[in-house]
Amino acid sequence: MAIDFNSQKDPDASAHAAYEVRLEQVFEGPMDLLIHLIKKNEVDIYDIPIALITDQFLAYIDLMKSLNIDLAGDFIVMAATLAQIKSRMLLPVHDGETEEEDPRMEIARPLVAFLQMKTAAESLADRSLLGQHIFTRPQTPERPKPDPGGEMIKVGLIELIDAFQKILERTPKSHRVDLTEDTLSIKDRISQLVDILERKSTISLDELLPDPSGKQEVIITFLAILEMAKLSLISIAQHVQSGIIRLFYQ
């Protein structure tokens, strides 16, 4: 668990081998590393010996580099923050100056928030989980419920665009450019669609766009559907014979 930060000053071959054995704990992010250092040194989170912690943090980064492990930029950002706090701690505070907050609060506050969330995550993990400790009647997978005898295929972008072309052809043409404000945003349309799908779990594209929809509404709906598919909120399938495209709520 512990990483020896002092021995890495002499990078000979044997030391290298030793590192590889020790590299049990890989920190997911800079916060994990900081918490580890604070615990290892047994210091108060609100009274971090900033010089010590910064040195150890940088030593860890060097160690990672010597092992050719790609470090996420997050570690570098954190190192910079620590260095900046360290330098601010060195500045003398003159009498009469408005009392400034301890610069270390900049790091202590997110650390406390981080620890809180870790505690919260633990309390979630400690609960009896459905499908693990507790069981119930399994949900009947009724999602792809095509009309009897029907066969659905997953549709690609081309089929979607084809279907759209058809709907667009049905919308009334006008030659004037209309500069009215957006009445409906994609975001709103997505939440509308989620509401509909939560109720119905599946809906056909035609149902969503009844005949007299305006061009703008059609486009917004189309974009909303694409966005939802990208977020894997929905899957889209096309009936083989009828060519009807349906959306299924994941």
Residues contributing to the site for another protein (CB under 8 A): 28-32, 38-39, 42-47, 72, 74, 78, 99, 101-102, 104-105, 108-110, 112-125, 127-140, 186-188, 190-191, 194, 231-233, 250
Residue 148 DSSP code: T
- The CB-of-216 to another protein minimum distance in angstroms stands at 18
Buried b (16+ CB within 10 A) or exposed e, 167-202: bbeebeeeeeeeeeeeeeebeebbeebeebbeeeeb
Q: Are 46 and 108 in contact (CB under 8 A)?
A: yes
- The CB-of-32 to another protein minimum distance in angstroms stands at 8
Closest CB to another protein among 113 and 161?
A: 113
- The CB-of-47 to another protein minimum distance in angstroms stands at 5
Give the SS3 label for residue 201: coil
Closest CB to another protein among 131 and 149?
A: 131
- The CB-of-226 to another protein minimum distance in angstroms stands at 14
Give the SS3 label for residue 218: helix
| Beta-sheet pairing, 245-249 with 234-239 | antiparallel
Residue 194 DSSP code: H
Closest CB to another protein among 132 and 165?
A: 132
Strands across the sheet with 245-249, in order?
Answer: 152-154, 234-239, 245-249, 202-204
| Helix (H) or strand (E) segment spanning residue 45 | none
Closest CB to another protein among 190 and 208?
A: 190
The rounded distance, in Å, linking the Cα atoms of 217 and 194 is 16
Closest CB to another protein among 29 and 243?
A: 29
At 158, the amino acid letter reads I
Q: Are 247 and 225 in contact (CB under 8 A)?
A: yes
> Any idea which residue has 């667009």 for tokens?
168
Closest CB to another protein among 136 and 241?
A: 136
- The CB-of-248 to another protein minimum distance in angstroms stands at 13
- The CB-of-10 to another protein minimum distance in angstroms stands at 31
Q: Burial, 225: exposed, middle or buried (Cβ in 10 Å; 0-12, 13-18, 19+)?
A: buried
Closest CB to another protein among 135 and 175?
A: 135
- The CB-of-212 to another protein minimum distance in angstroms stands at 26
68: left (phi over 0), alpha (psi -120 to 50) or beta: left
